[in-house]
Amino acid sequence: MTEQKIKISKSLLKLILAAAKDIYPDEFVAFLSGRKNFVNEIIVLPFTSSGFGAILQAGVMPIGIRILGTVHSHPTESLEPSEQDLEVFSRFGRIHIIVAYPFDEYSWKCYDKDGRVLEVEVVEE
């Protein structure tokens, strides 16, 4: 059995890139949500720290929210996950996006919970 291809809403990707650019040089962080393998929503939690080394406060997550994974920004051009990123990936879902400076349509990558690159299709919703 093959796994269904991951898709992300084009408008959501634009929102993520704009949020990361807006908060730069601090880091943007949020949870990814949607249905099955389609990411079409982010959840920005209250009390989530940004700045260098963003911190997710999962304890304030509303009940019943489906978490597919995480998204965060790097204030550099590096799209490679750090050891801390891999720790977060292993704890929250299975789809993880890193966006990096300059926060354009080419400066993002998606990973699985083990840090392996995932192919993602950007689709109109």
Q: Which residues of the chain fall below pLDDT 70?
A: 1-3, 46-64
Residue 15 resides in a domain: yes
User: Tell me, what's the pLDDT at 57?
Assistant: 53
pTM: predicted TM-score of the whole model, two decimal places: 0.87
Domain with 92, as residue range(s), is: 6-118
Residue 124 resides in a domain: no
Are 15 and 44 in contact, with CB atoms under 8 Å apart? Answer: no
Number of domains in the chain: 1
Angle at 51 between CA 48 and CA 53, to 5 degrees: 85
In the predicted model, what is the mean pLDDT of the chain? Answer: 87
Residue 123 resides in a domain: no
Residue 76 resides in a domain: yes
Residue 112 resides in a domain: yes
Which CATH number covers residue 68?
Answer: 3.40.140.10
Residue 114 resides in a domain: yes
